[in-house]
Structure formats: C-alpha cells, structure tokens
Structure 1
Amino acid sequence: MGAEQIRRWESGALAHAVTDPFGQGPLPWLRGSENYFDDTGQMVPWYADEILARGGSGGPRTADDVRRQIKGFASVGAVAPGESIDFHITVDPPQQFSVDVYRIGHYGGDGAAKITTSPRLSGIVQPAPLTADRTVSCHHWWQSWRLQVPSYWSIGAYVAVLTTADGYRSHIPFTVRDDHPADLLLVLPDVTWQAYNLYPEDGHTGASLYHAWDEEGRLLGEQDAAVTVSFDRPYAGAGLPLHVGHAYDFIRWAERYGYDLAYAETRDLHAGRVDPGRYRGLVFPGHDEYWSAPMRRTVELARDQGTSLVFLSANTMYWQVELAPSPSGVPDRLLTCRKRRGPGRPALWREVDRPEQQLLGIQYAGRVPEPHPLVVRNAEHWLWEATGAGDGDELPGLVAGEADRYFPRTALPEHQGRILLAHSPYRDAAGAARHQETSLYRAPSGAWVFASGTFAWSPALDRPGHVDARIQRATANLLDRICKRD
C-alpha cells in the first residue's frame, strides 16, 4: 500500500468532507499548553515531546486506520454520573498510553477543559475487526480502561483523548447525562455520526452506510455500502465523527451565555430514556439525518405536549433506521438502514408517507456545492429583532453543505402560525437554480418548531472564521422565547 494512499485515508473524512465545509472546528487540546513530568523527571508537553512528535515540526501525530497506532471506542455512548464507561483500545506497536478526558464548553474561550487523566496504561494490539456482509465490528476487543464517572461531574459532551508514549493520538467522544429538568435538552446525533463512519479507512475493510471498498481498494458507492453498521468500533481517522464540530459550536456558545442545558444522545431518544416533559425545548445542533420510528414518535409527542423543537442544521430526519443489539446482547449497538436495496419498505421517511416537513415545516432539498448567502425574509419578525437584519439582506456563507426548503405539495404540520424567515437562492452541482428556506411554526400545543435549513447555522454561533453576530442574536431570541426569559 503506497504512502500516498495512506495519507488519503488519514483524514477520517474521505467520503463526505465535501458536504461539510467547516471541518471539525477548534480542538483545544491541540495547543499543547500543559506539561507533565515523565518517568525520567523531565518536563514534556502532556501529549508528547514536540520534537519526537513530528520530527521537529511540533504537534502530536494523528493515528490512522492503516497502521492503527492507537484507536478505540466506548462501551456505551452516554453514561450518568456514578456509572462507569469501558474503553476498548488497540495500540500498535504495544506500548504505554494515557487517556485525558475533556469536557466541551466555553471555558473562557478555550472550548474545553481537562477533567481527569488516566493512569499510564499498557496498550496491546487488539484482534483485527470482524466483518460480515460489510458490517465491521470490534465487539471482541478486550477492555482497556474503565472510567468510573464521579457523581460530581457535570453533565455534558466529553472527549477521551488517547495518546501513546511515542506521541500518536486518537479520540473517543461520549456523553454524560442525567434526567434532571432543564430549560433545554441538547440531543447529540450519534446515530447519524455512526452512519457516516467508514472505520477502518484502510482501503479494504471499512464500510459505512455510504461507502465500502472493492478488492483493488477503490471506493464504492451506496449500492455496495453496508446495510448495517456497528457502534462497537472506533470512528475513522482521528476518532472524531464527521460533523461533530457543529454540536461543539452550539455547546460553546450556549454555555458561554448561561443557557440551562441537559444532554442526551439520539439513542437515548430511541430507547425511551428521555422524558421531553422535563424540558422547555429540545435542541438538535448538528447534522441529524438518520431517525428511528421511536425517535420520531418521542419528538412528535414532545411537540404535541408543548415542548419546543430547534433544528439547527439541514437534511434532518431523512432516512428511517432500525437499532438492534450487539452479538453479545447489548442493546442499540447495531444500526440498519436498508436504503433502496432488497425487499421491504423504502427507507426514506417521505417515501413511507411521512415526509420530514410534517414535523420540521421544511425538508431536505439537496447539496450546496459552494457556500451562498442566507437571504433574510420577514425581517420584522421577533426572531430577527435587534439583529440589524433587513428584508433581502445577505448573510455571507450561511447557506452551505446541504439545504432545506418548503415543498408546497407536501402537507404542513398543524400550526397556529407559520413563517419563512429566509429565502436564499443558490446553484446546485449541475448549475440549476435552487433555493433554501428557514422555517418557524407554532404548534397547537404552543410549542415552537424552528428549522434553520442549512448546515452553516451552528458554526455561525462560535466557529472561528464563521461567526455571524446576526445569527447569534437570532438564536438567542429564539431560545429566550422558548425558555421564557424576560
């Protein structure tokens, strides 16, 4: 296997980086500002010696899926304070490694804070992933470290940063949640993250719901991709899911301004671990494309009982999926989406007579190959209050990645009032004229349902180089109304 091919796969974003022009966003632990004393008493950066790490150029080295210097996954996605979470990690060549656990947040602009560090652990080379009908699983890996989450830890989005003694690094995201009431419940789209996961991106083994490889190492499309993918495996490349940065952008911004947030993952919605009645609103901060029937039922019931819904991306709830236990019986570790192959019902929600628009107010229209401006409409509405935005104003780069719009021939949800707050023309990959729209409606229960209709909304809240003060203020107007802040 040539070095050029390996570099091509190291990104962990080979297949779909094109749909997300924003990348991962800031990763504060890459600064290397913390130090520790190694076994010889020498002070070195906490992740690795810089000279060792990159031959003098500085910075840690990212593990890849070809050599698997260090890769891992967690036994569960979300855990409550007082519970434990197991990490299954492979290290090649075998050597010591450590795990630094960070919590995502504002933290004075740092973006995350280190919460704890593991002891030095002994790494082993775990067995090769198991494959069956393109489903890749590492459920047979030995446990490497158990983290007992203290009862005093804050709920939130966490990242375990794995670092080998010789300076290779990978990541494992996880969530700490509880069921205490809060103004807003932030729902992290772990089901969609796994759908895109191509681990291992090694040119022959890995598969996602989008891609797999043939015998010559050529990337195949959806027709030949996996039908079922497993949560019992690392994320490709650096170990962070595609689009994870959108959720982190929202978290940094919301915690900076003191919103009362609870945290969950979409599998918590699926499994019935979420009681929407505890929250004034549910917030879906990132690309959230894959939904099971129980997820949709829970969210529709939440709206109908007065809990508001905030969708800050596009292409939401597009594919219908099923979740099943792992071979060892752990629930919700296998994700299946039949797409257009084989017998059985179609997998698009709109093809089973339940189009997304009936919940969102708009629905997926297509990809946006180059960022375009978001064009403000109905600027007198309270959402745009104090933003300075006027009708027809263009917010540069705010229609990007993928876009939603209103489909006139598709039924709308029941509503007391509905308004479109942006209407933005763009060109698709074939050069055809298209448009994006941003929607808000009020359900008969009094719940607000907002859909941004673009990937670029969350990055505009707190992504360096993408912040837009008008989007920040509009989002605050929306959340303040949902939270009933004066």
Structure 2
Amino acid sequence: MGAEQTRRWESGALAHGVTDPFGQGPLPWLRGADQYFDDTGLMVPWYVDPALLPGARRAQEPQPRPVLGRPRTSDDVGGQIKGFAAGATDLGGSLDLRVSVNPPQEFTVDVYRIGHYGGAGARHVAASPRVSGLVQPAPLVAGRTVSCHHWWMSWRLQIPSHWTPGAHVAVLTTADNRHRSHIPFTVRAGRAADLLLLLPDVTWQAYNLYPEDGRTGASLYHAWSEKGELLGEPEAATTVSFDRPYAGAGLPLHIGHAYDFIRWAERYGYDIAYANATDLHAGRIDPTRYRGLVFPGHDEYWSAPMRRAVERARDGGTSLVFLSANTMYWQVQLHPGPDGQPDRLLTCTKRQADAPPSVLWRELGDPEQQVLGIQYSGRVPEPVPMIVHNTDHWLWEGTGLQDGDALPGLVAGESDRYYPRVPLPESSERVLLAHSPYRDAKGAARHQETSLYRAPSGAYVFASGTFAWSPALDRPGHMDERIQRATANLLDRICKVH
C-alpha cells in the first residue's frame, strides 16, 4: 500500500510496540531487514513508515525491504496469509489450523519449538505438505468484537507423544514464497516438573488489534474510527475473541519476553512444564504439583479462577516467580464463544463511558500487592538503571553487586513498587532488593522496587517490578550476567525446597 494510505492510520504494533523497549526479540526465522527497523532491536511491521516512529532517525532512508528470496510478513490489509489455532494442546493431541490466503494459493507450515538449542533459539520439529489455501470469510463483527470462529479448518497438526512439551510457533509461508505469518501455541504435558511456565495468552489477546486494517480490528486498548484513526480506550472493545489471528506478523506483543526466559532456562537444564494462562483459568492444570510457577512476561489480565488457583498454590508451598511488571492488574471474565466452545471470549469493561465501574483488582478490594508483594506504579518513558539494595541477601550472591550499584537499563517499560498503605501478604520474611528512581512522562519523581517474600507455607514469591528482567536473561544486546546469576539463585533455591 502507498505511503499516503499508511499514514492514514497507525498500526497497533506502532501504537504499543514503541513503548516496549525490547520489541518481540530476535527469532531465528525472523532475521532480516524486513523485520528490524534499526540496531535498537525494535521490530515493526514492514509496512509502517519509519518517519512515524517516535525518536526515529530523520534521515531519508529507504523503507526496509526483504532480502531477495526472503518472504515478507503478511499484513492485515492484504491478509496475504493469516491464521490461528487453539492456544494449547496435549502430547498425542492435535491442533486445527485455520488459515486464510489471499490470493488463493497453496501454503506450507513449518513448526518450531522454542529453546536454547546451542544459541539457535528454536528447533524445526515438523513440516506440512503443500496445503490448499483459500480466502476465508471476512471476520464477523459484533459491536467491537471481531471473531473468525467460522473459518474453515485448513490443516490438522498431529502432536506426537514423543515431542518435547513447550512453546511452539507454526510459520505459514505462501507457495510463491512472498509472504509469511505465524501461529504461536503451547504443547502441554501431564507430567509433573520442578517448574511450571505459564504463557500469558489472556494478556496477549487483550492487546491483539487484529485486523490492523484501519476499519474493523479492536483490542481492549484501541479501535478504528470511520476515518481510519486509531481510537483510545474509551472507544475500544470490551470483549475480544481468541478465535482470530494475532495482528501483524501473527506474534503477540511481548511474546519475546517469554521466549527470552525459555531459552535461558532450557540452556541451564531447568525441569520445566508448560501451559497457558487459559489452562490455569479452566483448571486443566494443577499448580500445586510444582515447586514453582513462573510468569515470564507481561501478565496484566487475570480472571478470578486464575488468581485463586495461584493463591492456593502459594499457600500450599508452591513458589511464584513474576518476571515482569504490571501483573494481575485488571480482573477479566472468560466466556464461551458463539459456537459454544468454552473460554473463547475475553471481557474487561475498563473505563468505557457506557460500561460499569472499572475492574482493577485493587479497586475490588483485592490489591495485587497481596499476592506479589509490590504492585503496578506506572510507565517508564525511557530505560533507567536498577539500583540494587540488600545485596547481602542470597538472591544477589555471586553477582558481585554492592548496595547502590546500578544495573543499566534494567528498569524499563513499566514498573512496580511497594505501597505502604496497601496490605501485604502474610510472610515469615520479606525484602526489597532494588529501589530505582525515575521520572514519569510528566516529569514527576517515581521509583521502582523488586520484591521477595516467603509465605508461611515456605513458598517464595518474587516480583521483578520491571519489563527488563526477562530480556536480561537471553536477549542479545540486553543480557546481564548479574541478573542471570540472581535468577539462577532464585530458581535453584525454589527447586531444592521440599
């Protein structure tokens, strides 16, 4: 599409991605000029005009184009290839992929499992034959809710029982090799493990603006006006559907934070099982079977069943590890989809003018600090150093850090802190491990804190209070050996607790 049409509306990736200083993160099948704007690591769709990016270099540079022979990412205007599937399945199960291809042509599916794999970041585990592609019906729209539940199944992926559970991505490529898109999914396993990693698919869907077409797409943050302008929360959706592709490249915002933790943890051999937040909500997993639950990325939206399950696990001795900020902020409800499938619609009224009062956990009498030990404070306009404290604590052992030392760029995106007037969880010990000043977008003085406490059950609860912790584990350009060591100290202690 032309530059004029591009400027008519801003994509959701542009609206949100530029506030995430780490973007999606490097993935082995996404390396190339068609995905990365510059050396900051910020990933934006190929069709976004670089001149629109805040802080972009003003030099007249040519729009990045794919390397010859390399497919470019599909966009939601042309819908060259887009697809979705259920968010998770079990070993021995199957996954139905629903894919739209425009113009109609055959396509292929390559499946990758995320992991360290000698630094490659993923392993190719399956490939489809050529699959017939068609243009699926237009998304159904009810109010601001967009759903593709009526799309035909395109291909069924059988999950062999010998596969390794984990985070996977199906990469869709058109037969002419011109366009590509992605479908992330999780393979669960029934076995117990030391740690259970929970991928935040509820939060991912809250941010999903599909389709980014300037007309019909909507998330819990944005929707489009009749003129193609990007509207804010008062005009956004109150209900969004899981039955639709993710916008842009087909990868959720912040998914790279989860992949950063996975690559690092698998490199060092931690015993990990995998599930999604929707599995926690539906009771498909028993969190008390694990020594620790790990929440690796931005995990803002929680249903009551999710929170109660985690509280029961903590009170039964299961430790909790929250590696991002702004966790457990909004309370949401999950409802059946139009076809009767459970938990396919996500509702959060937020602050719309014609909706009931907001549903912040803290405004409902259940502040998130009662689980996390700290809670959301605000956005961090630019990354600032994390100032460490209580470095004689075992979490900082072996890092070489002293009180007052600064870890550059470790407070970024959003931050949490301790609220003295908000009740704390019961604990036998509690410590704040960082206290980092910064200024918000209005210039007001703020600070971030990192928290650890031990529940009466013996469970540890750690909250990093920043978006930058997971990228510091295994994100090129952001890795910090001291954060890696501190995280290892934490997980080692959790895994050895009986």
TM range (shorter): over 0.9
The answer as to whether partners of 1:11 and 1:238 remain within 8 angstroms in 2 is no
Task: Map 1:20-419 onto structure 2 (within 5 A).
Answer: 20-30=20-30, 57=68, 59-74=70-85, 76-167=86-177, 168-341=179-352, 342=354, 344=356, 346-419=358-431
Q: How far has the Cα of 1:7 moved from its partner?
A: 7.7
The amino acid across from 1:473 in the alignment is R
The answer on 1:468 being equivalent to 2:461 is: no
Partners of 2:66 and 2:204 lie apart in 1 by 33
Matched, 1:458 2:470: yes
8 Å CA contact retained: 2:113, 2:125: yes
Residue type of the partner of 1:349? W
Whether the 8 Å CA contact 2:215–2:225 is kept in 1: the answer is yes
- Shift, 1:20, TM fit: 1.0
Distance between the aligned counterparts of 1:233 and 1:193, measured in 2?
12
**CA distance in structure 1 between the aligned counterparts of 2:321 and 2:66, rounded to whole angstroms:** 46
Q: Secondary structure at the match of 2:198?
A: strand
Aligned to 2:37: none
Contact 1:10 1:64 in 2 (8 A): no
**Following TM superposition, by how much is the alpha carbon of 1:422 offset from its aligned partner in structure 2, in angstroms?**
0.2
Specify the SS of the correspondent of 2:370.
helix
Contact preservation (8 Å) 1:373, 1:397: yes
- 1:273-313 deviations in whole A, cap 9, x for unaligned? 12112100000000000000000000000000000000000
2:45 alignment partner in structure 1 = none
Is the Cα–Cα contact under 8 Å of residues 376 and 390 in structure 1 kept in the other structure? yes
Alpha carbons 2:10, 2:229 under 8 Å: kept: no
| Counterpart residue number, 2:454 | 442
2: CA distance, partners of 1:351 / 1:428: 23
Superposition deviation, residue 14 in structure 1: 2.4
Q: Tell me whether 1:18 sits opposite 2:18 in the alignment.
A: yes
Q: CA RMSD in A?
A: 1.7
Deviates more, 1:310-319 or 1:13-22: 13-22
Q: CA offsets per residue over residues 319-374 of structure 1, 9 Å max, x none?
A: 00000011111111100001123454531000001000000000000000100000
Q: Partner letter of residue 334 of structure 1?
A: L
Q: Secondary structure at the match of 1:347?
A: coil
Indicate the larger mover: 345-354 or 408-417: 345-354
Q: Secondary structure at the match of 1:369?
A: strand
- Distance (whole Å) between structure 2 residues aligned to residue 267 and residue 290 of structure 1: 11
Q: What's 1:41 paired with?
A: none
Q: Aligned partners of 1:176 and 1:332: how far apart in 2? A: 18
Q: TM (normalized to structure 1)?
A: 0.93
**Contact 1:6–1:66 (CA under 8 A) maintained in structure 2:** no
**C-alpha distance in structure 2 between counterparts of 1:296 and 1:104, whole Å:** 27
Contact 1:30 1:60 in 2 (8 A): no
Q: 2:362 aligns to what SS in structure 1?
A: helix
Secondary structure at the aligned position of 2:288 is classed as helix
Residue among 437, 460, 485 paired with 1:425: 437
Residue 317 (structure 1) shift: 0.3
- On the 8 A contact 2:233/2:351 being kept in 1, the answer is no
1:5-63 deviations in Å (ceiling 9; x for gaps): 4488797512211331101111102359xxxxxxxxxxxxxxxxxxxx96764532110
Note closer, same or farther for the CA distance 1:11–1:216 as it changes in structure 2 (3 Å cut): closer
Distance 1:365-1:145 versus aligned 2 partners, 3 A rule: same
C-alpha spacing 1:345/1:31, structure 2 compared with 1 (3 Å): closer
Pair 276,106 (structure 1): closer, same or farther in 2 beyond 3 Å: same
**TM-score, structure 2 length as denominator?**
0.91
CA 1:293/1:235 → structure 2, altered by over 3 Å: closer, same or farther? same
CA gap 1:381/1:8 in 2 versus in 1, 3 angstroms: farther
| Match in the other structure for 2:44 | none
Counterpart of 1:45 in structure 2 is none
Q: 1:428-462 CA distances to partner (integer Å, 9 max, x unpaired)?
A: 00011100000000000000000000000000000
Q: Which amino acid aligns with 1:99?
A: V
**Structure-2 change in CA distance of 1:31 and 1:14 (3 Å):** closer
In structure 2, how many angstroms separate the alpha carbons of the residues matched to 1:109 and 1:249? 11
In the alignment, is the contact (CA less than 8 A) between 1:192 and 1:289 conserved in 2? yes
Query: For 1:10 and 1:103, how far apart are their aligned partners in 2?
Result: 32
CA 1:297–1:144: 2 relative to 1, 3 Å: same
Q: Is the 8 A contact 2:410 2:468 kept in 1?
A: yes
Cα distance in structure 1, aligned partners of 2:275 and 2:436: 32
| Aligned equivalents of 2:258, 2:210: Cα separation in 1 | 21
Query: Structure 1 93/16 Cα, relative in aligned 2: closer, same or farther at 3 Å?
Result: same
Tell me the secondary structure at the aligned position of residue 295 of structure 1.
helix
What whole-Å deviation, never above 9, does each CA across 1:212-232 have from its counterpart, x for those lacking one?
011000110000000000000
Distance of 2:477 and 2:314 partners within structure 1: 34
What's the counterpart of residue 60 of structure 2?
A: none
- Check whether the contact 1:71–1:90 (CA below 8 A) recurs between aligned residues: yes
- Please give the per-residue CA displacement for 1:63-103, whole angstroms capped at 9, x wherever unaligned: 000000000000x2110011111000000001110000000
* 355-364 or 20-29, which deviates more: 20-29
Structure 1: which 5+ runs fail to align? 33-52
Change in 2 beyond 3 A, CA 1:262/1:397: same
Matched to 2:267, the amino acid is R
* 1:73–1:87 contact (8 Å) kept in structure 2: yes
Percent identity reads 77
> 1:55 and 1:473, CA in 2 relative to 1: closer, same or farther beyond 3 A?
closer
What amino acid does structure 2 have at the position aligned with 1:80? D
Contact 2:9/2:229 (<8 A) preserved: no
Structure 2 counterpart of 1:36: none
